[in-house]
Amino acid sequence: MESVVFIFALIDCCALIFLAVYFIITLSDLECDYINARSCCSKLNKWVIPEVIGHAVVTVLMLISLHWFIFLLNLPIATWNIYRFIMVPSGNMGVFDPTEIHNRGQLKSHMKEAMIKLGFHLLCFFMYLYSMILALIND
């Protein structure tokens, strides 16, 4: 059972890693002027909800399967994701707003955020991998 949980977590984590990389690539495209703000933001906003859900699922899964440490590790990032999603002002077009993204260094902070997430997911990836192998051996 435990191995199934971790296999799922591993797959989910892979998806999140890809997503983080995609965010970074798209944002740096914007930074380098390869795409315009409008298309960049509509691309990214599409993936905000899948990201929130993907991460929330792992977090909840860890809570259910009583892996406290991993749950607590995931909690802050998951909370941040949800908070960020909820706190979008009514007039904005999503977490990434094309009219704001070039202002007040928002692009940079989005980039930083995506980098941190990438690092975090990589860490998680190896943790799940280790736990999965451990679980498989135990089985």
Catalog residues that contact other proteins under the rule CB under 8 A: 30-31, 33, 36-38, 89-93, 98-99, 101-105
Sign of CA dihedral 86, 88, 90, 92: negative
Please check whether residue 11 is in contact with residue 128, taking contact to mean a CB–CB distance below 8 angstroms: no
- Within 10 angstroms of residue 67's Cβ, the number of other Cβ atoms is 20
Which one, 6 or 96, has the nearer CB to other proteins?
Answer: 96
Shortest separation between residue 35's beta carbon and other proteins, angstroms: 8
Please check whether residue 125 is in contact with residue 13, taking contact to mean a CB–CB distance below 8 angstroms: yes
Shortest separation between residue 47's beta carbon and other proteins, angstroms: 18
- Rg over alpha carbons for the chain, rounded to the nearest Å, is 16
Which one, 7 or 93, has the nearer CB to other proteins?
Answer: 93
Shortest separation between residue 113's beta carbon and other proteins, angstroms: 17
- Within 10 angstroms of residue 94's Cβ, the number of other Cβ atoms is 15
Shortest separation between residue 111's beta carbon and other proteins, angstroms: 13
Which one, 31 or 79, has the nearer CB to other proteins?
Answer: 31
Which one, 18 or 102, has the nearer CB to other proteins?
Answer: 102
Shortest separation between residue 110's beta carbon and other proteins, angstroms: 14
Cα–Cα dist 106/129, whole Å: 34
Cα–Cα dist 26/48, whole Å: 13
Which one, 69 or 89, has the nearer CB to other proteins?
Answer: 89
